[in-house]
Amino acid sequence: MATPSAPVAPALKKTALNATHRALKAKMVDFGGWDMPVEYPCPGGGLIAEHLAVRTAVGLFDVSHMGEIQFRGPGSLAAVQHITMNDASRLKDGQAHYSALLTPQGTFVDDILVHRLGDNDYLLVVNAGTTDKDLAWIRQQVGARPGIHINDYSSYYSQLALQGPHALQTLQKLTKVDLAAIRNYWFTWGQVAGVYNVLIARTGYSGEDGFEVYIPSDEATTVKMWNALLDAGAEFGIRPCGLGARNTLRLEAGMSLYGHEISEDINVLEAGLDRWLKLDKGDFLGREALLKVQARGGPERKVVGLQMQDRGIARDGYPVLSLEGEPSGSITSGSPAPFLKTNIAMALIPTAKAVSGADVLVDVRGNRVRAKQVPLPFYKRPKK
């Protein structure tokens, strides 16, 4: 009798820049089934240098692993409205907003960006590790509706994110599009570095000003754009940046991450994302459940910010305790904050114990470390 063979893990997906990252000797990791750079060991480089470059100058990220799902047809708006928490009817052509796909319980299938490309034409940008799940869920919820075509165009796009105070000056060198005229969460189309029909969006996931550009996913075009952006930003001290800096930047900016501050076990009100929740837009998945939470007086737990007062780093999953040692939730995200020069975290704790300025304890590998509750976000970019 033959011995059953062990299942073979599926090969990691690769972006068009995979060989480029490896040539730069980036540290590569499995991220949601993608072979992605976590940091680059360039001279004086690494995660901290990349983080600080984005805060003070400009950084370039390969985020081509993100998914793109397009809705077209006369039923598109109604379908988007049904499955998302924000109000897509308020979007104008060339405008985007932050939103989420919700379960009937008001928890998260995924957080997304919705772009209105035109009448009856919407582009949803979803997280890399959830693209297949999101697409299947979307088709299950609204795929049978008439007047709508739902297509996965993830493999058609490479997406590069240029973030930081000098992002505009860097990108402006490569295009005749007036980038200063693009408002935050708006986008346009134009030629960049000789590449036609580039979607240029003033969006990002770093807490800084910046742009995300969507280009054809072939290797030649993507490498050309990557190199052009690095050359254009050289005078400002641009650095290629990996997923490590992307995570510490978003944490400093108090931005949620799927699987951490948001998940199928955390609802919108617990996550503190009700700013983007439009309960008055009409019926949508999760609305009734969230109205019931509001009617009960609000969520029983919530995401809060913590700043460590004693030495120790609060890592994801570490228990949070009251000063008396009673269990009070857990850390959802935690790390050093390179720009703020302190250790920070976000935690999900009982609402009754969520008091700004109050101290809690974090169990850091058996040691109880004091932390103070502080308002989110930890960092806000200076206003010009």
pLDDT along the chain (384 residues), means of 10: 60 97 96 96 85 98 98 98 98 98 98 97 96 97 97 97 98 98 98 97 98 98 98 97 98 97 98 98 98 98 98 97 96 98 98 97 97 98 84
330 lies in some domain: yes
93 lies in some domain: no
The owner of tokens 């060339």 is: 94
- d(Cα 176, Cα 189) in Å, to the nearest integer? 11
> For residue 59, what are the domain limits?
18-65+156-252
Residue among 15, 56, 33, 27 at smallest CA distance from 242:
27
Statement to judge: residues 162 and 239 lie in one domain: yes
278 lies in some domain: no
Statement to judge: residues 247 and 349 lie in one domain: no
Residue among 221, 210, 208, 170 at smallest CA distance from 187:
210
Statement to judge: residues 222 and 360 lie in one domain: no
What digits encode the pLDDT tens for the residues 28-48?
999 999 999 999 996 777 999
Return the DSSP state at 17.
Answer: T
SS3 of residue 346 by DSSP? strand
Point out which residues pair with 266 in neighbouring strands: 263
- d(Cα 231, Cα 223) in Å, to the nearest integer? 12
47 lies in some domain: yes
Return the DSSP state at 26.
Answer: P
Statement to judge: residues 357 and 226 lie in one domain: no
Residue among 320, 340, 321, 350 at smallest CA distance from 332:
320
Which residues are CB-neighbours of 121 under 8 A, at least 6 positions away?
A: 70, 71, 72, 76
- d(Cα 363, Cα 382) in Å, to the nearest integer? 34
Whichever domain contains 23, its CATH number is 3.30.1360.120
1 lies in some domain: no
φ, ψ dihedrals at 258, nearest 5°: -60, 135
Return the DSSP state at 318.
Answer: -
Which residues are CB-neighbours of 35 under 8 A, at least 6 positions away?
A: 12, 13, 14, 18, 28, 29
Statement to judge: residues 220 and 347 lie in one domain: no
Whichever domain contains 345, its CATH number is 2.40.30.110
Statement to judge: residues 243 and 305 lie in one domain: no
pTM of this prediction?
0.95
Statement to judge: residues 28 and 170 lie in one domain: yes
Number of domain units in the chain: 2
Task: Assess contact for 332 and 303: CB atoms under 8 A.
Answer: yes
What integer pLDDT is reported at residue 1 of this predicted model? 47
Statement to judge: residues 208 and 311 lie in one domain: no
Residue that is last in its domain, among 190, 224, 252: 252
What integer pLDDT is reported at residue 227 of this predicted model? 98
- Residue 50, sorted as left (phi over 0), alpha (psi -120 to 50) or beta, turns out to be alpha
Residue that is last in its domain, among 212, 237, 252: 252
Statement to judge: residues 172 and 52 lie in one domain: yes
- d(Cα 262, Cα 256) in Å, to the nearest integer? 7
SS3 of residue 269 by DSSP? helix
Residue that is last in its domain, among 252, 271, 291: 252
What integer pLDDT is reported at residue 151 of this predicted model? 98
Q: Residue 11, class by beta-carbon neighbours within 10 Å (0-12 exposed, 13-18 middle, 19+ buried)?
A: exposed
* Both structure tokens of 266: 């955390």
271 lies in some domain: no
Q: Residue 118, class by beta-carbon neighbours within 10 Å (0-12 exposed, 13-18 middle, 19+ buried)?
A: exposed
358 lies in some domain: yes
144 lies in some domain: no
Residue among 152, 147, 123 at smallest CA distance from 137:
152
- d(Cα 174, Cα 285) in Å, to the nearest integer? 42
Statement to judge: residues 211 and 352 lie in one domain: no
- d(Cα 137, Cα 101) in Å, to the nearest integer? 9
Statement to judge: residues 204 and 324 lie in one domain: no
What digits encode the pLDDT tens for the residues 106-117?
999 999 999 999
Point out which residues pair with 267 in neighbouring strands: 107
HEC assignment per residue over 218-258:
CHHHHHHHHHHHHHHCHHHCCEEECHHHHHHHHHHCCCCCE
Q: How far apart are the first and last CA of the chain?
A: 73
Statement to judge: residues 247 and 307 lie in one domain: no
